[in-house]
Every structure is written in structure tokens, then in C-alpha cells.
């Protein structure tokens, strides 16, 4: 997702939950993958993110770990 599209998508209520360079797979210099969350109830808490190799793709995967707390 280009940064201009990300700016439109990550409006208030859709904060980004992870960062990492994912493209190209061989030597990443750009972030193509993004994790956004819509959490008006405040139950989703990002715990961290990492970039993982994806052997069947031209880019790596952005993996985001989330904690979801419900009452």
C-alpha cells in the first residue's frame, strides 16, 4: 500500500499497529504490508510486530501480535 493510501486509510480510529520493511524479499527497503486496527471499544492492544520471510512471495510478511481483552 503506498504511503498516500495509508494516510487515507489510517484515519482516526484506524491506527497502524506495526512497522517494518517488507519489499523486496531479498533486501527490503520499503514497507508494503501494514496492520491497521479499528477498535472503538478499546479492547485490542498491539503487543509487537516483526517481519517474516515468505518463501512464496516477492515480499516479506508483516506479522502483528494483538491482545484482545473482552469482559
Q: Read off the pLDDT of residues 17-32 as tens digits, 9 standing for 90 and up.
A: 888 999 998 899 988 8
Do the beta carbons of residue 32 and residue 56 sit within 8 Å? no
Domain that holds residue 64: 3-68
Mean pLDDT confidence for 28-55: 86
- Please determine, for residue 43, whether its predicted confidence score (pLDDT) is greater than 80: yes
Residue 29 zone, left/alpha/beta (φ > 0; ψ -120 to 50; rest): alpha
Percent of the chain exceeding pLDDT 70 equals 80
Domain tally, the chain: 1
Instruction: Tell whether the model's pLDDT for residue 13 goes beyond 70.
Output: no
Amino acid at each position: 500500500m503506498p504511503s498516500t493510501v495509508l494516510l487515507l486509510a489510517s484515519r482516526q480510529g484506524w491506527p497502524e499497529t506495526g512497522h517494518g520493511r517488507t519489499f523486496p524479499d531479498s533486501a527490503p527497503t520499503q514497507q508494503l504490508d501494514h496492520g491497521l486496527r479499528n477498535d472503538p471499544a478499546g479492547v485490542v492492544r498491539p503487543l509487537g510486530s516483526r517481519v517474516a520471510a515468505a518463501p512464496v512471495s516477492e515480499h516479506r510478511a508483516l506479522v502483528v501480535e494483538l491482545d484482545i481483552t473482552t469482559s
